[in-house]
């Protein structure tokens, strides 16, 4: 029974990794805009067209023009803290890359925060995200280390 339990735990872990990879692929075209003001009287009356206009104005400010036809879906997520997030699902990764380069799953967002803290603690100079992957580098020109999960931090301690 113990052997079967270990096999089940390994199988569950592999399924969790597969789900995480699928979530990452779905996030390739999603971009989140935080703390954007509400342009209409009430968020309840806000339409998708209002949100599209808000995103277009925001992108214009950062000189990353985006057409309304490049937005597949858009909605506002209300947070308890009052800081709203507008989530836009774009039609292509190319459209997203014009605005920014990385969008993380909740799990990876937490892992990225841990990686930044660990980088500071262990005196790593670089911590960055590229195509949804988290990397650390000790010094300029040094090897990059990909952080896939929390167990990868143990290899940092050995160096």
Model confidence over 70-116: pLDDT tens digits? 999 999 888 776 668 899 999 988 888 777 644 567 788 888 889 99
Identify whether residues 34 and 86 lie together within a single domain. Answer: yes
Identify whether residues 95 and 120 lie together within a single domain. Answer: no
Structure tokens at 65: 């023009």
The answer to whether residue 18 is domain-embedded is no
In the predicted structure, residue 31 carries a pLDDT above the cut 70 = yes
Identify whether residues 95 and 146 lie together within a single domain. Answer: no
pLDDT at res. 102: 45
pLDDT at res. 159: 63
The whole-model pTM stands at 0.54
The answer to whether residue 67 is domain-embedded is yes
Length, in residues, of the chain: 159
pLDDT at res. 69: 92
Please, what is the average pLDDT of the chain?
Answer: 84
Residues of the chain with pLDDT > 90: what percent? 25
Identify whether residues 93 and 111 lie together within a single domain. Answer: no
* Structural domain boundaries, residue 110: 106-158
Number of domains in the chain: 2
The answer to whether residue 2 is domain-embedded is no
Measuring CA to CA, how many Å separate 11 from each of 3, 31, 108, 131?
A: 12, 32, 21, 27
pLDDT at res. 35: 80
């Amino acid at each position: 029974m113990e052997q079967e339990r270990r096999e089940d735990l390994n199988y569950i872990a592999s399924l969790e990794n597969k789900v995480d990879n699928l979530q990452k692929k779905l996030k390739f075209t999603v971009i989140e805009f935080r703390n954007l003001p509400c342009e209409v009287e009430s968020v309840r009356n806000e339409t998708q067209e209002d949100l599209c206009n808000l995103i277009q104005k925001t992108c214009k400010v950062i000189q990353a023009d985006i057409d309304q036809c490049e937005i597949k879906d858009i909605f506002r997520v209300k947070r308890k803290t009052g800081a709203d997030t507008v989530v836009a699902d774009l039609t292509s990764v190319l459209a997203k890359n014009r605005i920014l380069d990385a969008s993380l799953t909740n799990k990876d967002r937490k892992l990225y925060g841990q990686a930044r803290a660990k980088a500071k603690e262990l005196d790593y100079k670089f911590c960055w995200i590229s195509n949804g992957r988290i990397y650390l580098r000790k010094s300029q020109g040094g090897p990059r280390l990909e952080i896939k999960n929390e167990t990868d931090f143990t290899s940092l301690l050995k160096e």
